[in-house]
Structure 1
Amino acid sequence: MAKTPVMNADFARWYVDAFMDDGQTRAQRWKGVVDTAATANFHTVEVLVRYAFATAAPVDGWKNEKLAETHQAVLATISGNGSPMVPAASRRELQVLSAAVLVRLFSSMPDAAIVVLNASFEGKRKYDLPMDLPGLAKIALVEFARKKHERPDTKAFEIVAPKLEFEVSPEAMASMTSAQWTSELDRLRDAARMATREIVDGQNRVAKLLARRISLGEEELQMLWWLIGGQSNVADAPFDEIAASLKPLVLGEELGQLTQVSPGPASMKALLSRAGIGGETLKISDAVNAADVDWIRGVTTSDRVSPVTTPLHFALEKKLEIGSNDAWLPVWASMTGLPIDTSIPAIKLAELFYREYLFLHVNG
């Protein structure tokens, strides 16, 4: 079993600030945070963010079997002492610990930062935590974008010739029996096999680097042509002819479709701005009601659409289910915990929809 790393100073401070405990319990909880982060996937971050933001949506996802299973796994691991935590008695502690796991994941998992920013909904969803969780997520996402689009050093593509560790002296060869020859040949075979494995591993590493670089190059090229062309495939119209209320969702999705590697380029906001999306305030209800039913049906096919981590896709899903321009809104507000009259700048709306698309469809 891997040794638990030294407790992070930020976690130590957060736990003491929240629970006035710097003893054994804190040490156990730190182990729980580390262990939970070590096995996290997109189901895990969905559970964690629901706890961290104390959302109206149930943590076990209503009748979502996979989310319910993940919830139980998180409860069993995050305590750090082998005994599952009981939500009814530990809701506040689970909130802080879940946020701490998410922060730990910010260094390795783009989806963790994405779901936090999606759930925050540009500050519309309030939370009570000892850290600025959305602020830390934003910093992490910028760093992810920088690193993932960074050109690798040419030395990363070099494969060093392995050394074959085998030698038999002439004196030994002169007096070797057939059994000894067999033993030495076996040793030569094993050494050759190890050297070959090193070469193959090196070639696979280089191939993976090249494939990633090609994907990023293709992503950049397609985004550039999309922007230069200025034509929306969804709306079948030039960017400047798309209705202002529809543009953030449509162009956010189209840019998401062109993204090969999450969290996308650091220039994402600039691309959306250049495509003609401005800072004017737009109501969520107006953006959703402007969308065509057939398009909505196409963008809400994922079984991971969530009122917490993908609230805009969830709004579209409710609109499709209920079929009215008015009746879906109270349902959406109740299930997301967001104000019924929520409005944000159009460019922010496009960013949110883009990030939601990445979480649902693009591998990090």
Structure 2
Amino acid sequence: ENLSEDDLTDAENIPNILVSISSEKDSFITELSKNFHSNIVRMNQKIEFLQEESNILWWLVGEYSNLMNEHYSSVEKPIAAITTALELSELTISSLGPASSSQLLYKVLNVSKKSRKAKFKFNEYIENIPTLLFERFAIDPVIEQYNFMFPVYTALKKYYEIGNELAWCKAFRTATGLSDDIELSPIDLSTQLYRESLLLKCFK
């Protein structure tokens, strides 16, 4: 049986049709893959946030300082201002941290030993830190390049390296241009160190 011109035309178009079908299939698979990947990323983010919330909740309920190895009711207020910030930042997964971070820090600080003083000098916070605490957390060397962005970390580093009160305070003032005897409440110091800790994570 002889083929008509339409049949011949259709036959000639078969390769083009197959190419078109293949292209559409590839586009569909690519789009499906993108959507799948996007959904996986969102699921992982939700899991991370849930993990963050769970870890922070247990920290709040336990009222226990892992850095000091004791209940916060036994931790002096100036030391607690440092440890609460370090511990909460360790539990924080999101780059900005929970919106209620200051309230979380305040709640744990409120458990620490009572003090007649509402504020302490900045150098008091630093010099109250026991040596063993420095052995339990690392001070990233990147702060040396950005001292003005990490004043509390810079003070901790100078105190750990130099030790002598007059010497470390002078080195701190030189590095940051800030005063070492400014008075701060524990929550202000803790919030500042917490923010520095989150910022430090961005450099890693």
State TM-score, norm by structure 1. Answer: 0.49
Please state how far the C-alpha of 1:334 moved relative to its aligned partner: 2.2
Aligned to 1:276: 109
Deviations 1:195-224 (A, max 9, x none): 111111111111111111111111111100
Distance 1:269 1:254, change over 3 A: same
3-state SS, counterpart of residue 166 of structure 2: coil
Deviations 1:87-115 (A, max 9, x none): xxxxxxxxxxxxxxxxxxxxxxxxxxxxx
Aligned to 1:176: 10
Say whether the 8 Å CA contact 2:84–2:109 is kept in structure 1: no
Deviations 1:264-314 (A, max 9, x none): 111111111111249921211111112233433533134245321111001
Aligned to 2:154: 314
Say whether the 8 Å CA contact 1:240–1:276 is kept in structure 2: no
Say whether the 8 Å CA contact 1:259–1:362 is kept in structure 2: no
Instruction: Calculate the aligned-residue CA RMSD, in Å.
Output: 2.2
Of Structure 1 and Structure 2, the greater helix share is in: 2
Aligned to 2:178: 338
CA distance in structure 1 between the aligned counterparts of 2:6 and 2:172, rounded to whole angstroms: 82
Q: Which amino acid aligns with 1:340?
A: D
Q: Which amino acid aligns with 1:242?
A: V
- 2:124 aligned with 1:286, yes or no? yes
Say whether the 8 Å CA contact 1:299–1:313 is kept in structure 2: no
3-state SS, counterpart of residue 187 of structure 1: helix
Aligned to 1:63: none
CA distance in structure 1 between the aligned counterparts of 2:172 and 2:100, rounded to whole angstroms: 31
Map 1:206-285 to 2 at 5 A: 206-277=39-110, 280-285=118-123
List alignment gaps of at least 5 residues for structure 2: none
CA distance in structure 1 between the aligned counterparts of 2:143 and 2:27, rounded to whole angstroms: 44
3-state SS, counterpart of residue 129 of structure 2: coil
Please state how far the C-alpha of 1:174 moved relative to its aligned partner: 6.9
1:301 equivalent among 133, 137, 140: 140
Q: Which amino acid aligns with 1:217?
A: L
Say whether the 8 Å CA contact 1:260–1:362 is kept in structure 2: no
Deviations 1:96-146 (A, max 9, x none): xxxxxxxxxxxxxxxxxxxxxxxxxxxxxxxxxxxxxxxxxxxxxxxxxxx
Distance 1:261 1:235, change over 3 A: same
* Seq. identity, %: 23
CA distance in structure 2 between the aligned counterparts of 1:231 and 1:362, rounded to whole angstroms: 27
Residues matched between the structures, number: 192
Please state how far the C-alpha of 1:193 moved relative to its aligned partner: 0.7
Say whether the 8 Å CA contact 1:302–1:360 is kept in structure 2: no
Q: Could you say which structure has the greater relative contact order, defined with CA pairs below 8 angstroms and 6 or more residues apart? A: 2
Deviations 1:133-181 (A, max 9, x none): xxxxxxxxxxxxxxxxxxxxxxxxxxxxxxxxxxxxxx97774235x32
Q: Which amino acid aligns with 1:221?
A: S
1:358 equivalent among 194, 198, 201: 198
Q: Which amino acid aligns with 2:190?
A: A
CA distance in structure 2 between the aligned counterparts of 1:173 and 1:324, rounded to whole angstroms: 96
Distance 1:302 1:220, change over 3 A: farther
Map 1:38-77 to 2 at 5 A: none
